[in-house]
A and B are shown apart, each in its own frame.
Chain A
Amino acid sequence: MVSLKVNGTTHSVDVDDDTPLLWAIRDNIGLTGTKFGCGVAQCGACTVYVDGQPVRSCVTPVSAVGDSEITTIEAITGKEAEAVQAAWTARDVPQCGYCQSGQVMSAVALLKENKKPTDRDIDLAMNGNLCRCATYVRIRAAIHDAARALEI
């Protein structure tokens, strides 16, 4: 039994210690907004926050999480999350949409750290998130939109 604090609720999950957080969240806790794309920290589809920091849950074993607060796409809140998600919808960023939970998680984390990211900042913060549909033009534009919205 491992105890995980996800989105403010503590869950006891019956998994081995080496189970990646991703599968505990998806299969045991039943939150499926966090996606599987590669399993080896190459695509970012599985991005969640551990104590507010974005991590790749596919390579983070549950044993490494301890009693940290885990936040998934289902529970992101605050003005950055609202601005990013509003910009994503207004720009119609998603195509297939499968990578977009991870994209949104990374973008929100960026804006929390950096209120006015440059293109270079966006490259650095987002280059771990693959999009096979290549929605990158709109991801970039939507992050700039969200940053502008946060200024007001």
Chain B
Amino acid sequence: MTAHDPNLSRRNLSRRTWLKGAGALVIGLHLPGTARAQSSGAGAAFRPGGNATFAPNAFIRVAPDNSVTVLVKHIEFGQGPFTGLATLAAEEMDADWSQMRSEHAPADVKLYANLAFGVQGTGGSTAIANSWEQMRKAGATARAMLVQAAADAWKVPAAEITVVSGVISHASGKQGRFGEFAEAASKLPVPENAPLKPASAYKLIGKEGAVKRLDSYDKSRGKAQFTIDIHAPNMLTVVVARPPRFGGKVASFDAAATLKVKGVVDVKQIGSGVAVYATGMWPALKGREALKVSWDESAAEKRGSRELIAEYRALARQKGTTAGKHGDAEAVLAKADKVVEAEFVFPYLAHAPMEPLDGYLQWDGTEALARFGSQFQTTEHQTIAAILGLPPEKVKLETMLAGGSFGRRAQVSQHLAAELAMAAKAIGPNRPVKLVWTREDDLAGGYYRPLFVHRMRGAVKDGKITAWADNIVGQSFFLGTPLEAMVVKDGIDATSVEGANELFYEIADFNCEVANPKVGVPTLWWRSVGHTHTGYAVECFIDELLQAAGQDPLSGRIALMGDKHARAIAVLKAVGEMANWKGPGPVGDRARGVAVVESFGSFVAQIAEVSFVDGEPKVHKVWCAVDCGVAVNPDVIRAQMEGGIGFGLGHALYGELTLDQGKPVQANFDSYRSLRIQEMPEVEVKIIASTVAPTGVGEPGVPPIGPAVANALAALGQQRPRQLPMVGRTV
């Protein structure tokens, strides 16, 4: 989950820049050219695809039983690449959906680099966008070779052969399925430029109901295997005692009581804390409970959320670094009769993926196998090899299904891979380890969405918004990391200001400044990254200014866009039609709010219908219009909008990770309140028809819901919440 715009010719190159800088090769589109299929590297290098006999390229395996396995280079953690990438390949192969399978590709940067990053990794809602050409070409190549094999066998011209739903046939009555020709196809040269279908010929892409998720069956039956489910002979479960404050270190420890716990095997100090090794999770936890560690907190961060907010508020009153400017907003504000001011405060947030962080590693001193929900395979692979002191080619990394990520597994610091390797190394070879974080470890473990303050000022004159100023303060994920020099350009980290330094709205005098103070709390991108706070600040404040100008929130937004933002206008109009928008209301005890955000190249507008019940906002219904270019799997897109809305809403309403003198306060789901079924609104999604190349949907559903709800609350006569979460705030 991360930066950035899949359209790399545009702004925001930060993600890609740092990954390049991480020492990896940059490989362009890789499809074996004229190489023979069997020697095309992939076939020999690993076993994925099971008993496949035909491996025309790095992405597709055809087995004698007709099954087609797609090797997916992006991690599947719910957002749907297993289904999406298989759809692209199946479309061009003219395969039947029932013969399609998906599995994770192994870590191999030469074959599986994310084309947006240059290394293997998932993020920035790029999976479909960067596989759009690649997987269709892979499918078309496979089809051409299967057809050629059939033509050779039947002694007919390849051009006379048709393929429908996985059946290859010729007018002479000859028929066969993929499996029959797999072996012969594997001996043919790989064609250079197999033609792609025109969109008008699609049978799967964009077709409602044509495709079901490939992973639903197993996931509904407890059969899907996650990292936490790995068992191996002789394996030890590892939990780690980590410092209670960020930046703390182990001073000394006493493991005597721990070693008496039945099932505890060993205790070792590692870089991140003290590791307890046991025969299972419960003894490991009991052992950790019994451990006495004294911590050196001399370098630890001891400020709490309250202190940080006060400091940020003060910083927001000082000159920051200019991130966007036209005209002279300060001059207009200084002279304006009517200035609207609002200060928005956003807490730290944890990602809290349902499956806490975990990893498995086995090594014998010369070779290693790591298995976990790796989101940045290339860099994690290198980290593990470096820590174990092994050459990278002796380390295999297998990506597992992961129980969510929301950005948590996209680790700039690779701390999980490092901890896994350190834990394995400390106990020595031939003791496979499964490292498991508990929920408490997860919530106290940092790498949060950073705390942010937006100080906004706007001027309104004669029903027009004449000036806009936004002073943003919050941590950069990169300051203080080795990547700082590479990513923070001219003092601007794009992930702090995206969505705020350029608006859809034409305002003559505009200023956006940012300050990125250094704080010792590790932070990280969180589903929709900068838009998590910029979307809320901008969309609440524009609504407030439109209200001050006496304009309708929906038509007022469109009017401010001029003629430059056709896709944003289209989603706004569409969502207005869906909801039969007649102004924000209230009607009875319910009112409506609207918001629109572009993130990761996709445009999403939402309208929320809200009432106020027992002191809490109750969101009854959300209408959502999305333009993500070509809609490859409409139902996966709908699911991502539904899930994005629930995720965004839950955090806007309840989500808060408070630090008290540097220590995380919320320990588990009893205090880190998460959206539950009775709080989930009804959701209606419309996907805008488009012929533009597809963009992502994993993140863009998140940003608009918070401000849409806040704007509805304003229509109910309340102030738009200036500080999140809306309910039960502790700071």
List residues of A whose CB falls within 8 A of some B CB. Answer: 15-16, 19-20, 23-24, 26-28, 30, 32-40, 42-43, 45, 72-74, 85, 88-90, 92-101, 104, 122-123, 126-127, 129-140
Contact = CB atoms under 8 A, between A and B. Distances in A.
Interface centre among B354, B650, B668 (most CB of A within 10 A): B354
A36 B281 contact: yes
B33 to A, nearest CB: 37
B217 interface: yes
B683 A23 contact: no
B547 to A, nearest CB: 30
A73 B636 CA distance: 25
Given A33-B221, A85-B221, A135 B216 contact: no
Given A16-B283, A127-B678, A137-B642, 14 more contacts: A27-B281, A36-B228, A42-B668, A42-B670, A88-B216, A89-B220, A92-B216, A96-B77, A97-B220, A122-B677, A123-B677, A123-B678, A133-B646, A138-B639
Interface centre among A16, A37, A98 (most CB of B within 10 A): A98
Interface string B352-374: 11111000000000000000000
B480 to A, nearest CB: 29
B212 A27 contact: no
Contacts of A20: 282
B219 A73 contact: no
A75 to B, nearest CB: 10
A37 to B, nearest CB: 6
B439 A95 contact: no
B404 A101 contact: no
Interface string B264-301: 00000000000000011111001000000000000000
B262 interface: yes
Contacts of B231: 27, 30, 32
Interface in B189-241: 212-213, 215-226, 228-229, 231, 237
B680 A136 contact: yes
B574 to A, nearest CB: 20
Interface in B56-99: 77-80
B680 A43 contact: no
Given A74-B222, A96-B354, A127 B401 contact: no
Contacts of B213: 92, 94
B403 interface: yes
Interface string B395-428: 0000001111010000000000000000000000
A134 B217 contact: no
Contacts of B650: 134
B677 A136 contact: yes
A31 to B, nearest CB: 8
Interface in B636-682: 636, 639, 642-647, 649-650, 668-670, 674-678, 680, 682
A133 B438 CA distance: 19
A141 B237 CA distance: 38
Given A39-B438, A40-B669, A132-B406, A98 B643 contact: no
Contacts of B677: 122-123, 126-127, 129, 131, 136, 139-140
A97 B221 contact: no
B contacts with A: majority SS: loop
Contacts of A122: 677
Contact of A32 (B79, B225, B674): B225
A58 to B, nearest CB: 10
B635 interface: yes
Interface centre among A127, A135, A140 (most CB of B within 10 A): A135
Contacts of A40: 439, 668-670
Contacts of B354: 35, 37, 43, 45, 96, 98-99, 130-133
Interface centre among A16, A39, A96 (most CB of B within 10 A): A96
B404 A96 contact: yes
Contacts of B682: 137
B643 A95 contact: yes
A6 B461 CA distance: 72
Interface centre among A15, A72, A90, A134 (most CB of B within 10 A): A134
